[in-house]
């Protein structure tokens, strides 16, 4: 296999982390809506944990794009 082709495959695999981040964010906010619908008075307590979880999931997406860009810079040098 050509090394540049392998790097492009690696770049695509690193960018695939966006799919997992999208699923994670949807799950987090879906469960928050469900929890607030069951207990509206708990919204303030639940929302701070939701934003912490959102930030952690979004960090994974940023790691994925950083890896894809680092691989891309090596391919198109």
CATH assignment at residue 9: 1.20.20.10
For residue range 15-26, what is the model confidence (pLDDT) as tens digits?
787 888 889 999
Domain that residue 46 falls in: 3-75
Stated pTM of the model: 0.73
The number of domains in the chain is 1
Buried b (16+ CB within 10 A) or exposed e, 12-50: eebbebeeebeebeeebeeebeebbeeeeeeeeeeeeeb
CB of 57 closer than 8 Å to CB of 24: yes
Residues of the chain with pLDDT under 50: none
């Amino acid at each position: 296999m050509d090394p540049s082709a392998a790097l492009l495959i690696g770049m695509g695999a690193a960018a695939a982390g966006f799919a997992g981040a999208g699923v994670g964010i949807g799950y987090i906010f879906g469960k928050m809506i469900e929890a607030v619908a069951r207990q509206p008075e708990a919204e303030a307590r639940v929302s701070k944990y939701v934003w912490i979880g959102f930030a952690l999931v979004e960090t994974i997406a940023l790691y994925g794009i950083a890896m894809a860009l680092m691989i891309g810079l090596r391919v198109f040098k």
